[in-house]
Amino acid sequence: MSQKIPENRLSEAMQRACAEARKWLGATTPNPAVGAVALDSGGKILAVAAHHRAGEAHAEAALIGLCRERDLLGQVHTLCVTLEPCNHQGRTPPCTETIIQAGIKNVAIGTRDPNPRASGGIEKLKQAGIEIINGVDEEECRQLIASFSYYESTGKPWMTIKRALDKNGSMIPPPGQKTFTSPESLKLAHRLRKKCDAIVTGSGTILVDDPLFTVRYVADIPDKRRWLAIIDRHKRVPEKYLAGALARGLNPIIFDNVDEALADLTNKGMQDVLIEAGPTLSQAMFDSHLWCMSVTIHEGDPDRIDIEFNTREPLPFTASQFRREWMLPS
């Protein structure tokens, strides 16, 4: 058995891998965001990589490629990866084969892959004589891929209801304003928007606020197009708004009701859906019990942020260990 890396070094490496993966949250759908780190025998980080987009190299392959480029592959003692390496041929080769061929002898894994088509990687690596360390910083790794895990286990998108309430409990901004929350709260809201695949709103919100629904306050993912599902039974949203949304990088589509919108978004493979709507539609979503997480920003000095989970839905992580930074892109 080869020399073991101390647990604290493995944890530091896994946290670094998670941080790298979070940079790409929202960019990798339908794949999960995954990060990987290479360590030498003393636990020193040699290289860091992540999966950037579906169809491109997975985190493990990108990391091994980076080590080869830097002539560091021979120094790699342990590969740390946030998610079990895949064991199937998709648009890219199985990561298990890439790891085996690279001659890596130790692999530390954050959490198992919830996708049955991609699982079996741990067993494959063990069969090849590779030593496996399971469950390193597992809760952080599970929260990193919450939307992906929920979609894989239920076939439904992870839905977050985002609201902002003023000091009187109203969602309506003062005349002439579009918001009443702090810059930090706005940054949080736009990080939620950055990682989502689709936004659901109502015609009333559009007619009153003329919202852009673009990502600001943080850097957006280049070339990403999100679906904008608009509940507009009476077809009140003007064509000018729809054309403008299209020009801003959104794919707007009109629906008569929420059920129709969610069915369509699910069929399109949307894993992460953000509800950004007025009081009526937001309450209807709460009443539907289809939501998974709610984020409520309360105006204050400073603002207060309440995050709740729908206890009727199966969470892919332990709610008591939830940390919002583990689920948001940088």
Catalytic residues: 60
Q: DSSP for 213-260?
A: ----SSPPPTT--EEEEEE-TT--S-HHHHHHHHHTTEEEEEESSHHH
The overall longest dimension of the chain from CA atoms, in Å, is 69
Using CA atoms, how far apart are residues 287 and 310, in angstroms rounded to an integer? 11
Q: Are strands 106-111 and 198-202 parallel, antiparallel or unpaired?
A: unpaired
- Tell me, what amino acid is at 12? E
Residues 6+ away with beta carbon under 8 Å from 311: none
**Do 198 and 227 touch, CB atoms closer than 8 A?**
yes
Using CA atoms, how far apart are residues 86 and 91, in angstroms rounded to an integer? 12
Using CA atoms, how far apart are residues 316 and 157, in angstroms rounded to an integer? 13
Using CA atoms, how far apart are residues 230 and 246, in angstroms rounded to an integer? 13
Residues 6+ away with beta carbon under 8 Å from 140: 14, 15, 18, 110, 323, 326
Using CA atoms, how far apart are residues 134 and 112, in angstroms rounded to an integer? 8
Please report which helix (H) or strand (E) contains residue 17, including its range: helix 7-22
Residues 6+ away with beta carbon under 8 Å from 64: 38, 73, 79, 98, 99, 102, 104
| Other C-beta atoms lying within 10 Å of the C-beta of residue 251 | 13
